[in-house]
Amino acid sequence: MIAEKVPVTTQPGPVKPKRASQLKIIPAAKELQTVVERWRRGRKKIGLVPTMGALHDGHLSLIREARKTCDRVIVSIYVNPIQFGPQEDLADYPRDAKRDIRLLRAEKVDCLFTPTDEEMYPAGFDTRVVVNEKYTKPLCGESRPQLFVGVATVVAKLLALTRPQRAFFGQKDYQQCLVVTRLAADLNTGCEIVMLPVVRETDGLAKSSRNVYLNEDERRAAPAIYQALKLAEGMLQVGERNPQALLEAVRKRLRSESLIQIEYVSAKNADTLEDLNILAGRVLVAIAVRLGKARLIDNSIVAVPTGSGSK
Ligand code: AMP
C-alpha cells in the first residue's frame, strides 16, 4: 500500500504572538485592578497565591499548582499587621524581597502584588471581616484572638482586588483554609479555594518562614511535631477511638523533647472544628508548640470510618 503523500508547504503558518512572561511588580492597588480588568476582559483564568514572603518550597508548591491550572498567576507578598498581636513577631518576621522576586521569576509568575500598609489600610480604613467564631475561636484563635479577623479582612481585600477564579492555600494552616473557604463562599466571590498538602523537610518538619528562628538544638527537636502526628495517625489506623487516649499519647511524644512547650494538642471534626467524643469521620489532629522564639503549627487529617475501631 502506498502511503498518501502529505502536501508539504514551505509557507510558515500564522505566527502566534508569544506572551511576554515578565513578572510585573505592582505595589499600587489601582494599577493591580487595571491589569486584572484587562485579563478578565481577555477571559483569562486568574490564580491568586497570598503569602507573607520569605518564600520556601511550601509557597512554591502553591505557585506551581496555580501556574499549571490558571492562565495568569498573581502572588501577593504582604506581612499583614492586623493579624499580629502586640507581643508577636511582626517586626522580626523574616523578609527577603530580592530572593523572593528571583524565585517568582523562575516560576514564571505574572504579577507580584507588594502593597505598603498605607496602600492596604489607607487613612480612614474602618472595616473588619468576621467569620463565625465556630471556625475562628478554637485552636490558633485561642492564643491569637486577632489572627483570623486580620486574615479574613486581608484575604477579602485581596480577593476583591484580584478577582481570581482560584486561590491557593496550604493545609499547614488548615484553620485558615476553613476560614477563607467560608468567606469566599459567603461573600459570593466566585473564587474556588484550593488547599494543597503540607510540604516538609526530609525529617518531617513542616516548611515555614518561621523555621529560621530555630537554633541548632531547637531545629533538632522540631521533627517531634511530625512524629507526634504520625503516632496519632498510626493509633487511629489501628482503631483508637478515644480522644483522651490519643491526645495524651501525642502530648507524651512532644514532652519527650524538653525544648518543646505545648500550646495545644487537639482532635476535632475537620469540617466543623467541633470536639469529638469518639474519633470518627474526618478527624483533624492539630498541634501548636513554642520552640524557643518560634511558634510552630502542624496538623494531619485522617479519614476514620464511622463505626469502626477496636477500642
Ligand atoms: P505564609 O507566607 O506563611 O502566610 O503562607 C502563605 C501560604 O503558604 C499559606 O496558604 C500557607 O498555608 C502556605 N504554606 C506555608 N507553609 C507551607 C507548607 N509547608 N506547605 C504547604 N503550604 C504552605
Tally of domains within the chain: 2
Query: Ligand 1: distance of its center to the CA of 207 in Å?
Result: 8
List pLDDT tens digits, range 228-269: 999 999 999 999 999 999 999 999 999 999 999 999 999 999
Q: What is the pLDDT of residues 190-206, one digit of tens each?
A: 999 999 999 999 999 99
Options 46, 50, 58, 59, the catalytic residue: 59
Q: Which three cell numbers stand for residue 134?
A: 465556630
Assess whether 150 and 247 both reside in one domain: no
Confidence band, pLDDT 50/70/90 cuts, at residue 210: very high
Question: Any idea what the CATH number is for the domain that residue 241 is in?
Answer: 3.30.1300.10
173 Cβ below 6 A of ligand 1? yes
Q: Which range marks the domain in which residue 133 is found? A: 24-196
Whether 135 and 242 share a structural domain: no
CB 45: neighbour CB atoms within 10 A? 15
Cell digits of residue 32: 493591580
Question: Would residue 80 count as lying in a domain?
Answer: yes
Indicate which CATH number applies to the domain containing 187. Answer: 3.40.50.620
In a domain, 7, yes or no: no
- Evaluate whether residue 202 is within a structural domain: no
**Does residue 59's CB lie within 6 angstroms of at least one atom of ligand 1?**
yes
Q: Is 199 in the pocket of ligand 1 (CB under 6 A)?
A: yes
221 and 189: one domain? no
C-beta separation of 294 from 218 below 8 A: yes
> What is the percentage of the chain residues whose pLDDT exceeds 70?
92
Do residues 191 and 93 share a domain? yes
Answer yes or no: 59 catalytic. Answer: yes
User: Do residues 44 and 72 make contact, with C-beta atoms less than 8 angstroms apart?
Assistant: yes
Verify that 181 and 272 share a domain, yes or no. no
Residues 99, 43 share a domain: yes
- Shared-domain flag, residues 49 and 161: yes
Residue 311 resides in a domain = no
Confidence of residue 3 (pLDDT cuts 50, 70, 90): very low
61 C-alpha vs ligand 1 centroid, how far in Å? 9
How far, rounded to the nearest angstrom, does the alpha carbon of residue 35 sit from its chain's CA centroid? 25
Nearest to 132 by CA among 86, 209, 87, 186: 186
* Model pTM above 0.75: yes
